[in-house]
Structure formats: structure tokens, C-alpha cells
Amino acid sequence: MKTLILTTLFIMNSSFAKDLTIDRIFSSPSLAGTVMRSVKFSPTGERVTFLQGKAENKDQFDLWEYHIGSGKKQLLVDSKVLLPNGEELSAEEKARRERQRTASFSGIVEYSWAKDGTQILFPLSGNLFVYYLETAKVIQLTDSKDFDTDARFSPKGKYVSFIRQQNIYVVNLAKNKVKQLTFDGKGVIKNGMAEFVAQEEMDRDTGYWWSADDKKIAYVQVDESPVAITQRYEINAENIEIVNQRYPYTGEPNVKVKLGILNLKKKKTKWIDLGENQDIYLTRVQWLPSGKKLSYQIMSRNQQRLDLNVTNLKGKSKTLITETSDTWLNLHDDLHFLKDKSFIWASERDGFKHLYHYSNQGELLKQLTNGDWIVDGIKGIDEDKGLVYFTASKESATEEHLYVLNLNTAEINKITQKSGWHSIAMDNTAQFYIDDWSTRDQPPHTTLHKVSGKELTVLNDNTINKSHPYYPYLSSHQKTEFGTLTSQDGQKLHYRIIKPKNFDANKKYPVFFYTYGGPHAQVVTNSWGRSIDQYMAQKGFVVFALDNRGSARRGVKFESPIYKQMGTPEIADQLVGVDYLKSLSYVDNAKIGIFGWSYGGFMTLKAVTKTDAFAIGVSGAPVADFKLYDTFYTERYMSTPQLNAQGYKTTAVFDDVGNIKAKLLVMHGMADDNVLFTNSTKLFKAMQDAGVLYDSVIYPGAKHGISGEKPQKHVWKTISEYFIKHLKN
């Protein structure tokens, strides 16, 4: 009976069904419906706060709350009221947001709670604001011509700290007085700030850390002088700016870093001895709960050794753990110090990321998890009950679920049950969690739960009903099918495929083959996907993607084949996908096109220079030569050009451009400070010298992601029309 009803509804809706358009995909309101970003529990546990885009502008965010007791959802701060004319960002903040992948957003893009749960701090257009829950009023905390950034409450709530003009400042909230704490930040010296590679590659976007007692701040001092100045041209629509950027090219010098502990009362900094070798990475810094010791992680330049160290306030350090690898070590944020003078640590030493229990003296007590699956991250710890809550790929590499581990019995139980992807935020007491759940057919739907898994309430009902923005397009929505293929070394390769609308098994269809392929990423997941995939399926394409070796969440053995030869194992795996597509009776073997951006742009270039499997390629912001990319990322996988000259030569595409037989479109932002536009200009010259015809679309003033509604519409109209023109018309 249920099947009959659903079928009847589908037939009824089909006459009203709409196909997606590029304009609609990138317009407001979002087709994903109402999505809660930066979801947090209040410290008192009474509220859930989040950021939400405006109905008329999905990329401008306001601050909202859901009051758990009353079930009331309400707007707390309207960013447009505070800044009716929009905001101006400093160059430093624009770069920071580019690193955080929030460059396309405006309004309130980040916020933090005071520990007592009475105030919420947020930056807006370079100044700091505090929302007081008791009075429902917003107070502007700073008013400066300089841009204040990276702001937070101190742990006890006495201060608000922030970075201004490369120095650390605090506001004494009781006295409403701004005080400068460091004074030598200028020019090449930056205090409390994360350097370029820390922000872009280490997932560390801050450079200072409060102690629990509000009395001390650990901070990084960065000296950029060793890094050579690159003159980068930002070509805008109306002018050209010459930017002197200190870009750390692979094999070249990095910044120098110092780690200090600033005593607020004494106004003095105690510098920590990081060792004689200054050519290292300071990857993580974290206070122990007592506030009397500081942990810091040092990684070797070749990223094959990581030391977890602890120092006391006098600067005496001890190494607790040393991790090593023959290829590289992945960073993580799963270091948790416990009240019983022990800590939990994550390691890939057995081939998969798992949790380990150590004493504070560095003695291994027990391996807590094991198996051919990976722990994504710790979400909460109930120390009194000895329970650790974490997300993992235990059931499936294409899904993420929440689990609980008993420290005493080592028993692991799965909490989330629905198939799909569960993004979890847990309260400070580890008694409740927020589940942001989605599948390929269900956009993010947010619920509140007890840690037992029992659902307490729906925070954001994102069911695709008649009022949902995606509802008019639901009848044209095509199901995603998942499967596995086998790599040359016998490993499973996960893929996803979407058949075209009005699929007829007797017809032949072109293929929209999407790739990213780079490490620390995964594209084959049972989570809400990109609407562009549905658009291409509705335009009559088979849509296909595959996670090759080197991709994330599969363990060391799956990742490491790319070491010193990026682009070779990945393309071999993508060709396994091509062979599979060609085995399907409904695929037109002569009309397979490939598209990718960033690393995917590099993969696209490798695909059309090393194979003849693709009729067309669209390469967005590609790395054409990894000698033009940064130290931390590139050397992790390729070593240095000095030590792996042949590897770099093979990975670069220039020597092979004469092999290109596919129609090729290259797209790039002309102000890209991540994958420099030089990659594409060198590529253009090489293709011209080889007599290879190609197409290009370049974007004045655009960074790596080419953000903004209008530019995104142009980007995707260009991509889709290129596929349609060459593979359908």
C-alpha cells in the first residue's frame, strides 16, 4: 500500500516537476533548505546556537538560538541591522577567510560563548561585538580603524582577546579597557598569528592559547624573513595590483617560529626551547587542565617524525610520545588530557587512525580501538563514567557514525542508526549531542539527542515537503547508486553513479566524470551532495565519481601509494572507473568528459595528458607543477625537489601537453594566492609551444574558490555548457 501511495504521488507531481537550472542552484534560498552552521551548545546546556543564512541571501549569516526548554527558535542578532551597508574586510582577513573556506560568506561568520553562558562574542567588519542574553542587547566592544580578528573569551570570562596589527590585545570586560600585550609585531614579525601553511595545510588558524586560570597566554611568534618574496599579480577588472607575498615554495625556506608563555601580571614572555633545529613545524599547542603545563607538537620538516612534548612554566620540556613514518604522518586534534593524570591520543601506527590511552608520563596504558577502519574524531568524554564518544568509519567508509567506547571494558557500541552521514556536536558534559544527518537524498536534518541515542527534539526539520525549496525539483531527483571496484593492488575503490533523467537502458549516454582525487578528501559519501550533479543528470549525463588511492578515511595503506609520485596511482585508479563505465551498455564510450577543481584540476590535466580515455577535460585552478606549490602540503607527499627531482618532473604536466587530444578548458582566478595563477600561465605557454589548441576562462580579481553568487553562476554555466556542447550537441 505504501509503495502504491508513493508511486501515485510521484505520478501526480511529475506534471509539475521542474528541472534544475544553474541560476536557481546558486540563488537564494538555498536548495538544501535551512541549514544550521557552527552549531554549539551554550555552556549551561539550555540553548543551542547556530548561524543561518538569510532567505534572501543564503550566504549572509545571522546568529540564532534554539531554546531547548521552550522549543522556541529565534533570531538573536541580525547582521544586516548592525551593518546595513555591508562590511569591508582587511587584506589579512580576506586571506584568513580564504584559508578557512569562508570567503564567500558575509555577516556573522564565527562566534564564541563566554564560559558562564551569559554572553556571545562575534566579529563584524573588523570590530568586536557582544550579545548579552539577559538584556537581548548587542554592545560594540571595539571601535578601531584597524581590523580586529581571531577573538575569543578567556576561559574565566575576565577578558576578550584578539589580534590587531600583528599583536595580541585584550579587553578587560569589567573595566571596558583595551590593553596591548605584545609590541614587537610588525613587518615580518607576527605575534599570536598562524602562518600561511598552518592556516592552509595544518588546520591551525590561530596562534595563541589561554591557560585555564586567565593568567597566561601561550603564543607563537612568526618570523617570515626567511621566506622569499614573490611578486604576485592580482589582475582585477579595472586595475592590476602587485602583491609582494611571502610564499613558501616547496624546497625553499619556511618561516621561523618561537613559542612563548606570556604572564599577564608580570608582562613578560618565557620562550620555550624548541631545540637546535629551527627548520621544523609547530603543529599543535594545548594547555593541560591544571594550567601549569603546556603541551606542544613538533613535526620534522620531512613530516616523518612528530613529537608530543610537555613543558612546565619554567620552560623545562619532556617528550611524551614520538610518532614516525616511512612516508608521512597525518595531523589530528584528538589529544585529550583527563583528570586522572592520563590522556587519550590518536595514532596511525597500526595502519589506521585509532585511539590510545597514555599516562601523563608518556607510558602507554592501552590501545583503545583497533580494526581496518578509522576514527574520525573524539566528540566528547564522560570521565566519571569512563566513556569516550567518537565518530568513525567502522560500519562503512562512505558513512560517518557516532560510537561510544567504555574505557574499562573496551566495549564499543554504535549510537547513530540511520544510514548516512552524521556530523556530531556534543555538549561539555557529554550528556547530549546534536546530530546533523544527511544522505544523498536528504539535505542536512538536525536533531537533539541524549547520549543513549534517544531523540529529544528536532532542531531543524529539513524534510523535503511542499514548503521546502527543493520540493519543486524533487520529481526530477535521480537516485545515487554506490559500488566498489578493485585497484591494481587489490584495494576496494568506492564509486557513486547517477543515471540520467528518463533513463533508457537501450540508449547511449555521455558521462560527466567528476574528480578531486587529492589526499585529505573524500567525494564518495552517503551525504547530501552538490546540486550540480543532479543538474547534469537532468541534462542527460551519467554522473560518476570515484575515490582513488590517496583519498581520506581509508588508512595508511590506501593513502601511501601516492608518496613521491602524485598523479600516477590516482590516474590508474580513475582509469579503473573508466573501464567500468565502458562496460556499461548505456555509456557512450567516446563521450566521457572529466572535470575537477584544484587537485581535481591537476587530475584532469594528468588524465588528458597521460591517457586518451576522455573526450573533453575541464580543469579548474590546477596545480600544473607542484614546484609552484607550498612546502608543507607538497613535501608531505613528494619530499623536496632537491631529493625527488624525477618525481617532480613526472608529476608536472608540461612535458606531456603534446599528448592532449581531448578538448580542454582551463579556468582560473587571476588573484589566486593558493594555487598561483602562474600554474596556468606556464601551462598556456607550454601548450602554445606544443601547438595544442585549448580554451580558457579566467576570472579577474578571483581567488582560489572564485566565490560569490554571480561568479559561481558563470563558472558552472561555463562548465556545464562545455560538456553539453562537446558531448551532446
What percent of the chain lies above the pLDDT cut of 70?
Answer: 98
Distance CA 475, CA 326 (A): 51
Distance CA 24, CA 59 (A): 14
Distance CA 49, CA 116 (A): 15
Give the position of cell 545515487. Answer: 480
**Average pLDDT, whole number, for the chain?**
94
pLDDT (tens digit per residue) in 20-74: 999 999 999 999 999 999 999 999 899 999 999 998 888 899 999 999 989 899 9
Name the CATH superfamily housing domain 480-727: Alpha/Beta hydrolase fold, catalytic domain (3.40.50.1820)
Query: pLDDT-derived band of residue 2, with 50, 70 and 90 as boundaries?
Result: very low
Please pick, among 30, 423, 475, 598, the residue that the annotation labels catalytic.
598
246: helix, strand or coil: strand
Sign of the C-alpha dihedral computed for residues 160, 161, 163 and 167 taken in this order = positive
Q: Find residue 663's DSSP bridge partners.
A: 616
Sign of the C-alpha dihedral computed for residues 504, 505, 506 and 508 taken in this order = positive
Residue 704 among the catalytic residues: yes
Omega of the bond prior to 29 within 30 degrees of 0, cis? Answer: yes
633: helix, strand or coil: helix
Give percent helix, percent strand, percent coil of the chain, each to the nearest 5. Answer: 20, 35, 45
Residues in the chain, total: 729
- pTM beyond cutoff 0.85: yes
pLDDT (tens digit per residue) in 82-98: 988 777 777 778 777 88
Domain locations in the chain? 182-324, 480-727
601: helix, strand or coil: helix
Strands 375-382 and 401-406: unpaired
317-324: strand order across its sheet: 280-287, 293-300, 305-312, 317-324
Please pick, among 672, 673, 680, 720, the residue that the annotation labels catalytic.
672
Please pick, among 475, 704, 720, 726, the residue that the annotation labels catalytic.
704
> Residue 260 pLDDT > 90, yes or no?
yes
585: helix, strand or coil: coil
Q: What is the mean pLDDT of residues 499-515?
A: 98
pLDDT (tens digit per residue) in 169-208: 999 999 989 999 999 999 999 999 999 999 999 999 999 9
Residue 598 among the catalytic residues: yes
287: helix, strand or coil: strand
Does residue 689 contact residue 698 with C-beta atoms inside 8 Å? no
Task: Give the three cell numbers for residue 210.
Answer: 589561554
Question: Which residue, among 207, 209, 208, has the nearest Cα to 255 in the 3D structure?
Answer: 207
CB-based contacts of 316: which residues, under 8 Å, 6+ apart?
none
From residue 636, alpha-carbon distances to 228, 289, 544, 643 in Å are: 20, 32, 29, 13
Give the position of cell 537532468. Answer: 538
